[in-house]
């Protein structure tokens, strides 16, 4: 096998986007098949190149996932590379970005076992609503929105969760309702396309289903967009801070109260890429993988 398109046990098959990528690879004479990252029957020395695509349960098993990635890296080529996976699977990376001058959502990082008085923090920071989320999470897992009048509930939840793991507290930006969350895709280091997504991706599913929030939301479904030059430049600035190149990356942005873009997430592990909406991006991705396969074949020859 040339390429493993790595999936998860709950999503063993390829997504529509990755099926397009698979067909593009086949057109280049490259055999690419889905393999489940934690399937004990898989021999990871067989694929020349492993591309992480839909390991959407990895946040539930971070230690095991990183051990798997280290194992694959020792015997073959893995994208994105292990150091980026180690860095990107914990949202402490937001602090690193901030230290590099990247605008991010203001974040209170709560280490496991720490104690944080939520009401005092919100008062000091002038935050009327906050989002509380685990530092290791995906797709709004463990994320709740705390509004005024919910401080006791928020404190109870925070106390429980921070006893188990690192947590983040961020102000809820109302601009997410009007302009949504913008996702910029970068393939092999180059910006290719962008989409806008509704608030469900930025807050808990329970909060996003709130009827009052739905009435305020100006974005009801995903759609392709042309981002502002300032937003694309910000994406490139982020890539320049990384410890190694990326084969794929997604930068999720929101706008602050002044209308300036700031980083919500940087997705380097298993981001959705919406390749069905961007055929040129799928071709670029396939070309990049083909280059990696050629290098791997030469090494094994």
- Output the tens digit of pLDDT for each of the chain's 301 residues: 899 999 999 999 999 999 999 999 999 999 999 999 999 999 999 999 999 999 999 999 999 999 999 999 998 999 999 999 999 999 999 999 999 999 999 999 999 999 999 999 999 999 999 999 999 998 888 999 999 899 999 999 999 999 999 999 999 999 998 889 999 999 999 999 999 998 765 555 455 445 544 455 567 789 999 999 999 999 999 999 999 999 999 999 999 988 999 999 999 999 999 999 999 999 999 999 999 999 999 988 7
User: Structure pTM?
Assistant: 0.92
Distant-in-sequence, close-in-space partners of 1: CB < 8 Å, separation ≥ 6: 31, 32, 33, 46, 47, 48
- The tokens for 193 are 């396309």
Question: CA angle, corner 58, sides to 90 and 200, nearest 5?
Answer: 75
Q: How far apart are CA 102 and CA 110, in angstroms?
A: 21
Is residue 42 within 8 Å of 36, Cβ to Cβ? Answer: yes
State how far the Cα of 248 lies from the Cα of 268, in Å rounded to an integer: 7
What is residue 213's predicted lDDT score, i.e. its pLDDT? Answer: 47
pLDDT at 216: 52
Please name the residue that has the structure tokens 């009435």: 215
pLDDT of the residue at 199: 76
Between strands 32-36 and 49-54, the pairing is: unpaired
pLDDT at 205: 47
Q: Which of 271, 175, 265, 171 is nearest to 219 (CA)?
A: 175
- Domains of the chain listed by start with CATH number: 3-88+278-300 (3.40.50), 93-103+174-268 (3.30.470.20), 108-171 (3.30.1490)
User: DSSP readout, the chain?
Assistant: --EEEEEBTTB-SPPHHHHHHHHHHHTTT--EEEEETT-TT--TTS-SEEEEEE-TTGGGGHHHHHHHHHHHHHHSEEES-HHHHHHHTSTTHHHHHHHTT--B---EEE-TT----HHHHHHHHT-SSEEEEESS-STTTT-EEE-TT-HHHHHHHHHHHHTTS-EEEEE--THHHHH-EEEEEEETTEEEEEEEE-GGGTS-HHHHT-HHHHHH-S--S-EEE---HHHHHHHHHHHHHSSS--SEEEEEEEE-TTS-EEEEEEE-SS----GGG-HHHHHHHHHHHHHHHHHHHHHH-
Tokens of 142: 């463990």
């Amino acid at each position: 096998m040339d390429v493993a398109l790595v999936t998860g046990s709950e999503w063993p098959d390829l997504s529509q986007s990755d099926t397009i990528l698979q067909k593009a690879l086949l057109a280049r004479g490259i055999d690419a098949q889905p393999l489940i990252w934690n399937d004990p029957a898989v021999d990871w020395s067989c694929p020349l190149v492993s591309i992480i695509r839909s390991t959407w349960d990895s946040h539930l098993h971070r230690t095991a996932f990183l051990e798997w990635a280290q194992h694959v890296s020792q015997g073959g080529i893995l994208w994105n590379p292990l150091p980026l996976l180690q860095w990107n699977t914990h949202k402490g990376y937001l602090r690193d970005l901030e230290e590099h001058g990247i605008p991010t959502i203001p974040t209170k990082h709560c280490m496991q076992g720490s104690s944080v008085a939520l009401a005092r923090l919100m008062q000091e920071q002038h935050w009327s609503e906050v989002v509380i989320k685990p530092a290791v999470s995906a797709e709004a897992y463990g994320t709740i929105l705390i509004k005024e009048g919910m401080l006791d509930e928020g404190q109870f939840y925070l106390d429980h969760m921070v006893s188990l793991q690192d947590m983040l507290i961020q102000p809820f930006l109302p601009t997410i309702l009007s302009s949504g969350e913008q996702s910029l895709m970068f393939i092999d280091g180059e910006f290719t396309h962008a989409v806008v997504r509704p608030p469900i991706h930025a807050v808990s599913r329970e909060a996003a289903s709130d009827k009052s929030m739905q009435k305020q939301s100006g974005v009801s479904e995903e759609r392709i967009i042309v981002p502002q030059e300032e937003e694309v430049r910000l994406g490139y600035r982020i890539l320049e801070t990384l410890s190694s190149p990326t084969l794929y990356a997604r930068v999720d942005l929101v706008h602050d109260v002044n209308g300036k873009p700031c980083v919500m997430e940087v997705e380097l592990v298993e981001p959705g890429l919406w390749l069905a909406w961007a055929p040129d991006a799928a071709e670029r991705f396939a070309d990049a993988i083909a280059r990696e396969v050629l290098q791997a074949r030469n090494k094994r020859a």
